[in-house]
Every structure is written in C-alpha cells, then in structure tokens.
Amino acid sequence: MTDWLVPLPDAEAMRATDRWAIEERGVPSLDLMERAGAGLATLVSEVAPEGRVVTVCGKGNNGGDGLVAARLLRERWRDVRCLLLAERDELRGDAAANVERVETEPFSAVALEGAAVVVDAILGTGFEGTVRGAAADAIAAMEGHTVVAADVPSGVNASTGEVEGPAVTARATATFAAAKPGLWVNPGKEHAGEVRVIEIGIPEGAPGEPDVALIDDAVLAEIPRRRGNTTKFSSGHVVIAGGSRGMTGAPVLAATAAMRAGAGYVTCCAPQSQQPILATHLLEVMTRALPEDDGAHVVAGADDVLGMTERGGAVIVGPGLGRTDGAQEFARTIVRRSTVPVLLDADGLNAHAERLGVLREAGGPVVLTPHEGELGRLLGCPSEEVKAHRLACARRVAADADAIVVLKGDDTLVARPDGFVAVSPGGSPALATAGTGDVLSGVIGALLAKEMDPFTAACAGVRLHALAGSRAAERWHGPDGVVAGDVVASLPIVLGG
C-alpha cells in the first residue's frame, strides 16, 4: 500500500491481527487489553478532566477494556461508577480476569445522572446488525450525555459504518491499534466524534492488507508540478462539455477550478447561444460554440469535443448539461468514443442512470463523481439506501461500471473496480454550498489531464478540494460565508503550501 494511504482494517482483519500478535509473536492478550484500557482512560480524562465517570461495560472484550479504564481512573482518584450489563460470572477470558480487579454494579439508567462523562464499552468491532435488549436500553440512556466510546461506538458496524438500529453518538472514540472503516465512513463517522488511535503493543509486520484506507495529505506530493521545460499542453488540456440555458455557472466553476489546479489549457464547450456568456467570464479559458437545440447540447457536438482531445488531455462531461434527450445522448456518445479519461458529473451521470453497462464500453478511463442521489439513480435505488450503505453502493457501481467512483460527502469515498476504497478525512463543512461539486470536477479533471493514474488523481483531487475548503473557511472566519469561488481561489494556496 502506498505511503499516502493509512490502512483501516475491518473487524475480520483486526481479529486476525490480534491472533497473530498473540499466537505468533507471543504478546499476552491481557497486556493488549491493559494498554487499550489505559489509552481509553487517558482520553476520558482529556474529554472530562473533572467530575464523575460512569463506565457501561458489556460482557465481551470491549467491556474488558472499559473495566481496565474504570480501575485506572479510580487509581487516579476519579469518582467512577462501573456498570455491568451482564452478571459478573457471565464474563469470559480477559474480561473475566479484569472484572475481578474492579468493583462493579448492575446497570441502571439512574446511575448515569450527573455524570461528567459516560464510557461506552458495550459492543466492540465484532458487532453487526441491530442492537436489542439491555444493550439497546443502555444506548438509549446515554443519549444527551458526553460519551467516550471504546474502539467503536456501540451500534456502529466497524467494518462498514452502517447503523441499523440504536447507536451511541460519542464525543470521542478511542480506537485500538488502528482506526476502523466504520469510524470514517458515514453514518458511522457521525457517531464517532474525534477519533484517537491508541497504540496497544501489536508488533509491526502483521500479515494481510486492508481494502479500505484513509487518504493522507501526502497524496498532494503525487501531483505533477510545472518545471522550466513545461508547456501549456504538457501541463494538461481539459475539455469541459456542459452548460445550457440558465445553467452556465457550473461549467465556469469547473473551468476556473481546472486552471487553478494546474491545468495548462482549458476549453469550455457550450451550446452556441450560451457560449458568449461563458466567454465573458472565462478570460484565461478557450470557449467553443457547439450545435444546439433551443439552448441545449445535441449529439452532433460530440465530434467537436472529441476532436479537441486528439493531443491528449481529459474531458469533463456534465456541469450544467441539462436533461434533454439530445444532451443526454451527447454525453453518452462522448463516453463511448473517447480515448482519453472522461469525468462524469451532474447530468453527465444522469445520462447513464441504470445504464452502468454502457460505461464499460468507454474507450478510456472513466471517473464518476456522484452525490448520494446521483449514485442512487445510477443503481436505480433510493438515495436513502445509498446513504445507509455508502461503502457497498460505491463498490457496486465501481465494479459494474469498471470505473473510479468518487461518492461525495464529508466522508468522500474513492472506489476502484477491484473493491479497494480510499476515504477522505473530510472536516470541511465549508464545502456544503452550491457549486463546490463543479469545483471538484475541475480539480480532478486537471489531474487526469496531467496523465496521473485515475485512482491517484481522484484521491489527490478530493484531498486538495477538502483542504481548499478549509482554507477558504479560515479566510472568511468560518464556513458559513464561503461560496464555491472562494474554494477555487484557495486551490493554489494549498498547492503552493
């Protein structure tokens, strides 16, 4: 795995790593639990330096981590109540050993009243499905409290981020050895709060390689930079095919973003009647008037677009395109006949709703940049289904279309056809405004035109876009006043940093 991807092992991989450490490298399992509990206790103290601590422990190893934390916090003279969801004699293994070292009491919702912080140590990484019974009651009782979760918030699937029923919403999560996919993929990410990875003493060299990873800022070093012998064409030519009556802003944003992301040459193609509008906004960008039908693209314009890519580059299809029959066939024709990378966004995606097989016929690499609604239309399912199963849906589209899929969100997912997924750390609420999706298209398009590997280009574009959003928010003293143009203006600042 490349050094700009941080592995996110799922539950099965984490279990295998634990077994390897214990059985092959001789690390005592009690030592692993002791270090996990110590790290958990430290995070609890940071979140709530004073006041009463209540730990709520299940009967498995996750509960054992909570028992260790309760004991260590008491040794630091904290007021701690340690609540068990099971009888003491029901605990097994390392959890049974640790319950003998700390005073406990049966769970009671009343015991949570007045707590400065509640520790969720009910269910660990092995959980999947819907929480029921006493665990569900405990989760409900935690609502409204400041919670620190042990390894993963109870109710969240650690491998996928899916939440099928009651789930803890934590202020922070102390996750052990490595972060899990479910802590960074929504809806699980929304439940995890701040994620703190706790080193528990697992040696380096564990076998296996996860198929989900977090995108690190180091990916920006992969972006080719201009040198003394660089020309405008070797910097990358981006052709943008979009725009229609009343929707010329989207291709303008995509074009300016492509330029600010380092493209040396950008050509923006619009219906003939709309081209003058683009030309007044795009001084550094070439514009081309294409055949139209009442202000919308028609299939005859595809030849002009494809002709502009004879010397290479990349094509962005979709910003402001519209949904007329002619415009949709125009988009499909470009994808089918292009020999350079094609990025599809907005109505370029809608042109392929429930037509994923058509994308497999593309003559060059394809990158899709949908939000949940657009991905749902590609699959022919409601957006709510995508929202609940983001990882699975992104993988399905990538495999069925043989394309790179960039499923947008605070946890933007970049999925390859082979099932590998890179996850953006996000953290850029300023991007929640109209036009920033067009900016992302322009950024990734510029990197594709530089002949970067499509997956790497998508990951680098996603991270550059997020960092530019954060930089724009700093300039405007918060995210609420940021507009898409501010993100475009921040791109070269991030690239130059």
Domain ranges in the chain with CATH number 3.40.1190.20 = 217-496
Rounded (10°) CA dihedral 16, 17, 22, 25 = 120
3-state secondary structure of 264: coil
The per-residue pLDDT for 42 is 98
In sequence order, what are the beta bridge partners of 83?
Answer: 56, 105
Type of residue numbered 183? L
pLDDT at 497: 79
Nearest residue to 449 via CA among 285, 235, 306: 235
- What is the DSSP secondary structure assignment for residue 23, as one 8-state letter? I
Q: Among candidates 74, 96, 71, which has minimal Cα distance to 86?
A: 96
Q: How many CB atoms lie within 10 A of CB 38?
A: 17
217-496 topology per CATH: UDP-N-acetylmuramoyl-L-alanine:D-glutamate ligase (3.40.1190)
Cα four-point dihedral sign 427, 433, 438, 443: negative
This prediction's pTM: 0.96
Whether cis (ω within 30° of 0) applies to the bond prior to 187 is yes
Q: What is the pLDDT along the chain (497 residues), one digit of tens a residue?
A: 799 999 999 999 999 999 999 999 999 999 999 999 999 999 999 999 999 999 999 999 999 999 999 999 999 999 999 999 999 999 989 999 999 999 999 999 999 999 999 999 999 999 999 999 999 999 999 999 999 999 999 999 999 999 999 999 999 999 999 999 999 999 999 999 999 999 999 999 888 899 999 999 999 999 999 887 877 777 899 999 999 999 999 999 999 999 999 999 999 999 999 999 989 888 889 999 999 999 999 999 999 999 999 889 999 999 999 999 999 999 999 999 999 999 999 999 999 999 999 999 999 999 999 999 999 999 999 999 999 999 999 999 999 999 999 999 999 999 999 999 999 999 899 999 999 999 999 999 999 999 999 999 999 999 999 999 999 999 999 999 999 999 999 999 999 87
What are the tokens at 255?
Answer: 């074009």
Which CATH fold topology does 8-209 show?
Rossmann fold (3.40.50)
Determine the Cα–Cα distance for residues 439 and 458; give it in Å rounded to an integer: 13
Residues 6+ apart with CB under 8 A from 427: 410, 466, 470
- How far, in Å, are 16, 174, 426 from residue 422 at the CA level? 22, 22, 12
Q: Is 149 helix (H, G, I), strand (E, B) or coil?
A: strand
Identify whether the C-beta of residue 281 lies closer than 8 Å to the C-beta of residue 250: no
Contact 277, 309 (CB under 8 A): no
Per-residue three-class SS string for 443-457: HHHHHHHCCCCHHHH
Per DSSP (E only), the strands in 111-231 are 117-121, 147-150, 172-176, 194-198, 212-215
At residue 111, the pLDDT reads 96
Q: Give the per-residue SS3 of 319-352.
A: CCCCCCHHHHHHHHHHHHHCCCCEEECCHHHHCC
Q: Which residues of the chain does CATH 3.40.50.10260 include?
A: 8-209
